[in-house]
Amino acid sequence: MSQKAFLRAFDQAAIGSFMAAGMADAAQYTAPGVGAVPVSCGVMVDRGTQVWGDDASPVALGEISIAFQRSQVTPERGGTVVVDGDTYRLTDKLRDDASLVRWLVVPHG
């Protein structure tokens, strides 16, 4: 088994367990653009992500980020995700590996 395959299998099992324990959520992701169809997926929402600016005097800001499983969806900037009744718009990709992709989001709607 390759590292990529292992990471995908591990993250799928972990997120399934996290969902059962209330630490991850079922969601609906919709790609940007007219007529896009919502896709069901499992996500992990972090409401305390610290993001530092890149100017001369950076300040940490508390942001919301959402991790998606790449095997379920391929999120894009401007897409929206509905999690537990809250809708968010994807703004900036923070991390992306063979298994999980994490995006900064803002409340939408």
CA of residue 57 relative to chain centroid, distance: 28
> What residue ranges in 1-109 does DSSP mark as E strands?
25-30, 39-52, 60-69, 80-83, 86-96, 100-107
The average pLDDT across 2-8 equals 88
The average pLDDT across 92-97 equals 93
- What is the tally of structural domains in the chain? 1
CATH number at residue 66: 2.40.10
Give the per-residue pLDDT at 63.
87
Q: Which domain holds residue 37?
A: 3-107
Q: 13-70, pLDDT tens digit by residue?
A: 988 899 899 999 999 999 999 999 999 999 999 987 666 666 666 666 678 999 999 9
pTM comes to 0.85
CB 6 within 8 A of CB 25: no
Distance CA 4, CA 43 (A): 19
The region of weakest confidence among 7-16, 35-44, 77-86 is: 7-16
DSSP code at position 48: E
